Chains A and B, each alone.
Chain A
């Protein structure tokens, strides 16, 4: 009995661990997408943040300075995205792709130049990291709790505050917001900055909590899985959180199932489980599991014309 309990606990802990960056990224992405700014650059922001967190922690020896650096780095990328998409009304997908590619290159270039370890940062000591708070085996570092708290907080902000009301309005009908005398650009900038904040935390978690340092492309598509979770949750915080947990569980299971023979079907290909979040999201998008309707103005630059 104890074995089962501890297995369940460890599976749950593993799921939560894997889901933490997804949840943080998804909540950040929600703010951005709700405001009508599509963000395929979550991956890049998170990668950039992960690098600067580990680099700063390694140089200064302080995990919290690492977190601060991560947030600054992600916010810089977020501002770039905002500058391109809001101020210059550029294509949001193009901007997001640019940020992803830029981050993939820049982290390695800077890492190699500064630490000369082929793009990796030096391995971090435990005092340079965010360590588990209560259960060492579960890996319950602070970002995990922040991620858990971020979901009701996001819901509350979006549904219950003035900012949230305006955010939802600007993603559906920016013209109405403009006509009400509210600045569309400033609203969207705030949404994009919130997105950067969360993506920064997610990146810091990856490199100084879950792992002990940065390695190239360490986000490995998690930004896109978070994006998938947003879609899967139909742009609502709690369902998106649920999707993150499912995707986290899949990942935790995939690690366990590696090389295990399943009765009746042989070895389950790990790659299939890894591809499942994407496949499931595609099924959803295809309308086979309900309908996912994006904010109406998402992806459309706002231009004052009539």
Chain B
């Protein structure tokens, strides 16, 4: 094709401090097509698109939109060039109506009344043309996640964008909602809209795009017509070498039940059922994986199992102790019972960014000897403990005195994992074990989890990465809308069946509610 591309990037560079996020990226986005940009977390995809959208300034390089060189000082410039972006985290005001969100930044005059009326008409037109129906007067906070995303797309179209960038649009969607999204994108393409899809999911690239760029460590490492490539090739390009997803697992030797949940229910203050009649057992020496689209109760399950939240119904038996709404527990007691917990979001929960690594290495165990004796803490003992953990889990740099936030994501995760595994727990609850972790560390973490299992620990792994669940688990439970909708032994699991279960396609289940 020799037509002028919708967007052309030339030698884009961007650094944050000493982190070189984007290194000399050049690419062409064809008009009226769907172009995918695929890469691992941290490969620089989002940074690149933020530069294109004017949220960041490139340190060097040139941006051309429809042949003209442009400078993107801020999103306003991008919008003026006809570029719109649907962010991974929605940029919606929850207390506003759909209509108010739609006009924000494009009000059409100093007074609202006229602009709102015009927007209402335009919204109706867009809804007809693209099949994007939303109630204009609904409060955004009351909409489901899928509907909110539709509002985001409408916002972009409302501003007359001809180029639409979507950043990890499916992260919060069920597979069915994702399919719906792709149908919308196809309609947009038919109407001549250019679409850029950023994702780390190969399935989506294969299903939706015409052309794909692969990013690794801030660089474009390949571009392919989607029809001419395969998921295997893309995976290899993304990672840079053959992926070793098949771990050597010794046959499973399940032992006693260490943790048992019966009819576990959690209803929040607003009456939303976050967990609904969940039953599961964890046996010594097995890994149980929980699969599901994020926001279907996994987070809450982890909170209840680790003692952070008390169930509102049902009971939980951990090594003889019964926990129910009348006999709540707390994370400290659960630790005493031998339940260790690697939280889903280590930065928000598992560590204190401002603390030294040594202080982070005893989080949750601060009252235990040898860290605390006679009500006083023993600093040298804490430091020594941290040094041992760092050695054993290869945390770099080996500096117990360094601020926790100065370590890379993988090293932070290793430190948290080391802390929780150091006490040889009977039950290990792990949320998103490798989120934001580089490939080398992923293999290490997986091997450590298997080692724990082989030593007789009962391990529960919650992950949104199906591949991870498939690689690690002996048994797989699928969560949907707060319930366990099915169990599959690892040997008989495949992505398609699991995907259907994750979407709640099992009979007699209602539609997905927003989180």
Contacts and interface: CB of A to CB of B under 8 A. Distances in A.
Interface in A259-306: 296, 304, 306
B111 interface: yes
Interface in B250-272: none
Contacts of B50: 306
B42 interface: no
Given A160-B113, A162-B110, A169 B75 contact: no
A168 B55 contact: no
B105 A182 contact: yes
A166 B115 CA distance: 14
Given A160-B111, A162-B110, A179-B87, A173 B105 contact: no
Interface string B96-137: 100011011111011111010000000000000000000000
A175 interface: yes
A182 B93 CA distance: 14
A133 interface: no
A165 B110 CA distance: 10
B157 to A, nearest CB: 14
Contact of A163 (B46, B54, B106, B110): B110
B15 interface: no
Nearest to B50: A306
B92 A306 contact: no
A163 B89 CA distance: 25
A173 B94 contact: yes
Interface in A126-183: 160-166, 168-169, 172-173, 175-183
B105 A168 contact: no
Interface string B12-54: 0000000000000000000000000000000000100010001
A254 B89 CA distance: 52
Residue picked from A163, A178, A179, A183, most chain B C-beta under 10 Å: A179
A161 B105 contact: no
Which interface class (under 10, 10 to 19, 20 to 34, 35 or more) fits B? 20 to 34
A166 B106 CA distance: 10
A162 B115 contact: yes
B273 to A, nearest CB: 23
Residue picked from B54, B93, B111, most chain A C-beta under 10 Å: B93
Residue picked from A161, A164, A176, most chain B C-beta under 10 Å: A176
Given A168-B96, A172-B94, A176-B104, A181 B115 contact: no
B84 to A, nearest CB: 10
A73 B100 CA distance: 36
A163 B87 CA distance: 24
B229 interface: no
B85 A176 contact: no
B112 A169 contact: no
Given A160-B111, A306-B46, A169 B74 contact: no
B112 A161 contact: yes
Interface in B145-184: none
B76 interface: yes
B74 A173 contact: no
Contacts of A163: 110
A169 B46 contact: no
Q: Is the interface of A mostly helix, strand, loop or mixed?
A: helix
Nearest to B103: A165
A281 B77 CA distance: 45
Contacts of B89: 175, 306
Contact of A162 (B78, B79, B107): B107
B4 interface: no
A180 B112 CA distance: 17
Contact of B104 (A160, A161, A177, A306): A177
Contacts of B77: 181
B311 to A, nearest CB: 25
Interface in B67-94: 74-79, 85, 87, 89, 91-94
Residue picked from A166, A175, A183, A296, most chain B C-beta under 10 Å: A175
Interface in A167-207: 168-169, 172-173, 175-183
B497 interface: no
A173 B92 contact: yes
Contacts of B76: 181-182
A173 B92 CA distance: 7
A306 B50 CA distance: 10
B96 A169 contact: yes
B154 to A, nearest CB: 13
B164 to A, nearest CB: 14
A178 B94 CA distance: 16
Contact of A165 (B92, B94, B112): B112
Nearest to A304: B55
B406 interface: no
Given A173-B91, A176-B91, A181 B79 contact: yes
B94 A180 contact: no
A164 B93 CA distance: 14
A162 B112 contact: yes
B137 to A, nearest CB: 15
Given A161-B111, A163-B110, A169-B104, A179 B94 contact: no
Nearest to A182: B105
Contacts of A180: 75, 79, 91, 104-106
B322 interface: no
A96 B51 CA distance: 36
A86 B287 CA distance: 50
A163 B112 CA distance: 9
Contact of A176 (B79, B93, B107, B112): B93
A175 B50 CA distance: 13
Contacts of A160: 111-113
A179 B111 contact: no
Contacts of B93: 168-169, 172-173, 176
B95 interface: yes
Contacts of B115: 162
Given A173-B92, A176-B91, A181 B55 contact: no
Contacts of B105: 166, 177, 180-182
Contacts of B111: 160-162
Residue picked from B77, B85, B111, most chain A C-beta under 10 Å: B111
A180 B92 CA distance: 10
Contacts of A165: 100, 103-104, 107, 112
A161 B112 CA distance: 5
B113 A178 contact: no
Contacts of B109: 162
Contacts of B87: 179
Contacts of B46: 306
Question: Top 5 closest A-B pairs, CB basis?
Answer: A180-B105, A181-B76, A181-B75, A176-B91, A179-B91
21 contacts: A160-B112, A160-B113, A162-B109, A163-B110, A164-B112, A165-B104, A168-B96, A172-B94, A173-B91, A176-B104, A177-B105, A179-B85, A180-B91, A181-B75, A181-B76, A181-B77, A181-B79, A296-B94, A304-B55, A306-B46, A306-B50
Given A160-B113, A179-B55, A180-B105, 18 more contacts: A162-B107, A162-B109, A162-B110, A162-B111, A162-B115, A164-B112, A165-B107, A172-B96, A176-B92, A179-B75, A179-B87, A179-B91, A180-B75, A182-B104, A182-B105, A183-B74, A306-B46, A306-B89
